[in-house]
Amino acid sequence: MTLIRAENLTKKYDDGDTVVVALDRATLSLNSGEFIAVTGRSGSGKSTLFHQLGLIDTPTSGALAVLGTNVLSLTEKQKTAFRLKNIGYIFQDYALIPTLTAIENVALPLLMAGMPKAVAYAQARKTLDSVGLAGRAKHLPSQLSGGQQQRVSIARAVSHAPALILADEPTANLDHESSLSILGIFRKLTERGITVVMITHENEYAKMTDRVITLFDGTIESDTGK
């Protein structure tokens, strides 16, 4: 089943007198349950593509449908609601809310979705357990290691059962062992039908995915899925 369909997705920035084309007519389709790595050198357009797919930026031109919805026609508020329901974000620097404990960080999207507090906490605890952090539920981010924070970040991204997980270099700040653990979690998510799109610089980790999309100068240079 096609989860995302992007056609001629283009993003241009004004940089003084010149126009920078960060993403140039990218066309791709991603299917449910796929584990996809997006690679490329710095400035190749990986993050730009990532931001367009995650609806936190708007392309200059092109078409984008997620789960059959033309997301480019949505208002900002509708996009936020769409993200809450369908997309989970994992950031390179974990991006946890520092004043919330691990379980509170994970429960936040569930509360935003309207879930009663007790139910949200129970689900958050279960999700934390699934990433091996049940014992650290009441710790603040500052009391957790980088690997643990990233796993909390994953738990937060998957707690509301989205169809798509977008992970921006999730292993960049982690040691090899922690990175493998994270990739293992992603693999399990894909087995449940969740699509995981991961930006990475590491060829070793890219090879562990189902499909590798390589970008160069804003264009899709290769896509092993084609």
> Which residues are at the interface with another protein (CB under 8 A)?
51, 54, 56-57, 76-77, 80-81, 83-85, 87-89, 91, 95, 97-100, 104, 108-109, 111-114, 140, 156-157, 160
Question: How near is the Cβ of 15 to another protein at its closest, in Å?
Answer: 13
Structure tokens belonging to residue 150: 């990233």
Give the whole-angstrom CA distance, residue 109 versus residue 208: 29
Question: How near is the Cβ of 58 to another protein at its closest, in Å?
Answer: 8
Q: Which is nearer to another protein, 39 or 159 (CB)?
A: 159
Q: Which is nearer to another protein, 163 or 206 (CB)?
A: 163
Q: Which is nearer to another protein, 76 or 177 (CB)?
A: 76
CA proximity to 90, closest of 210, 213, 3, 197: 197
Question: How near is the Cβ of 112 to another protein at its closest, in Å?
Answer: 5
Alpha helix ranges (H) inside 38-175: 46-53, 76-86, 102-112, 117-130, 146-158
Q: Which is nearer to another protein, 29 or 92 (CB)?
A: 92
Q: Which is nearer to another protein, 11 or 211 (CB)?
A: 11
E-state strands within the chain: 2-15, 18-31, 35-39, 61-66, 69-70, 87-90, 164-168, 195-199, 211-216, 219-223
Residue 19: Cβ-neighbour burial (10 angstroms; 0-12, 13-18, 19+): exposed
CB 35, CB 209: distance < 8 Å? yes
Question: How near is the Cβ of 79 to another protein at its closest, in Å?
Answer: 8
**Helix axes 176-191 and 146-158, enclosed angle (nearest 10):** 10
Question: How near is the Cβ of 108 to another protein at its closest, in Å?
Answer: 7
